[in-house]
Amino acid sequence: MEGLLFNVNNGYIEGIVRGYRNGLLTGANYTNMTQCETIDDLKLQLGPAYGDFLASLPPNPSTSSLAAKTTDKLVAEFRYVRANAVGSLAKFMDYLTYGYMIDNVALLITGTLHERDTRELLDRCHPLGWFETMPVLCVATNIEELYNSVLIETPLAPYFKGSLSHQDLDELNIEIVRNTLYKNYLEDFYHFVNNNPDMAGTPTAEVMSEILEFEADRRAINITLNSFGTELSKADRKKLYPSFGMLYPEGTLMLSRADDFEGVRLAVEGVGDYKSFFEAAGLGGGAGGPGNMAGGTGSDGKTLEDMFYQKEMEISKMAFTRQFTYAIVYAWVKLREQEIRNITWIAECIAQNQKERINNYISVF
């Protein structure tokens, strides 16, 4: 059914995005990149994929400028696709950007709290999370003004409403604010893909549900692991878990009670994938959990985080096996982000002369 009318509005977009996907770097490209001796060599290797964007870089650019330029390409392509999108796909793509907006707003909140000139911060915002009214937020000089303008001016208003008051912005750690917003965002996105008449019951809902459920679980697990040893109480922690996902509700409940790595492992045991991740990470990390591996050098075992990324990439790759779905846009953005991370990582390894860990990138093609 969805195949009948999908192409009327979205066929072009799908074609473009599939074309972009084919432009992603492959395993062979990565192998070539890891052989590079200097950043200039790397730049040369990236020539076919990123030529125009890297052209303006000086010889031997810094890794951060390399990352910035590669991100520019993603942003340019995303904007092109967004400009051509109509109807519910346009809305879907807007949802995609909300995640970045949350980071940007969190940045502005931090800036306002510390009485910084927030205009300077606009440069630091992620371009995908840019929204037209963002400069308006910079007018706010105190947190209450900011809160009110956030509520009025940003698409994030519903995520603030009901869960955060302006006092919260002042008192709560910015990370809690960020994660509360993110939880609300994920839940809203999940609700959107499953209830929008254009998407409900289509492959989009199916694929996106899988992706978002995974994202929700990942956040829940990460928050739990990272909250050990901080002042975040279990009750507060529980509030940050999204109310869907494969772990929800039993696993989430167990997560909220977990005290250590072992507790988390027990909580996620119900889900096969996570169980195997934890087993692998558990072996690598020893008693202290996966986060405490000494120094980061020479840890051959992949971290939990790495495995989550790997899993995300696989899900994203699988999304392209489906047709007539918006999910490929999401998957493409995620794959592309991973590609940028990979390039940055490889560049960093070359720049810091740490070749032994250069193969830690994640490539799925």
**Cβ of 32: how many Cβ atoms within 10 Å?**
16
Span between the terminal Cα atoms of the chain, in Å = 31
Q: Tell the smallest beta-carbon distance from residue 349 to another protein (Å).
A: 7
- Which of 64, 84, 133, 141 touches another protein by CB under 8 A? 64
111 vs 41, 141, 261, CA distance in Å?
A: 38, 10, 34
Nearer to another protein, 10 or 179 (CB): 179
Q: How far is CA 160 from the centre of its chain?
A: 20
Q: Rule CB under 8 A: is residue 345 a binding residue for another protein? A: yes
Q: What are phi and psi of 201, to 5 degrees?
A: 80, 0
Least separation in angstroms between CB 51 and another protein: 23
Q: Is 284 in the site for another protein (CB under 8 A)?
A: no
Given candidates 8, 83, 114, 162, which one binds another protein under the rule CB under 8 A? Answer: 114
List of residues 6+ apart from 265 with CB closer than 8 A: 275, 278, 282
Contacts of 333 (CB under 8 A, 6+ apart): 74, 78, 96, 128
* Alpha-carbon torsion (163, 167, 171, 173), positive or negative: positive
Number of residues near another protein (by CB under 8 A): 55
Residue 121 interacts with another protein (CB under 8 A)? yes
| Near another protein by CB under 8 A: residue from 119, 124, 161, 257 | 124
Region binding another protein by CB under 8 A among candidate stretches 5-13, 120-128, 133-141, 149-157: 120-128
Q: Which residues are at the interface with another protein (CB under 8 A)?
A: 62-64, 103, 106-107, 110-111, 113-114, 116, 121, 124, 126, 173-176, 178-179, 182, 219, 222-223, 225-227, 229-232, 240, 289-297, 303-305, 337, 341, 344-345, 348-349, 351-354, 357
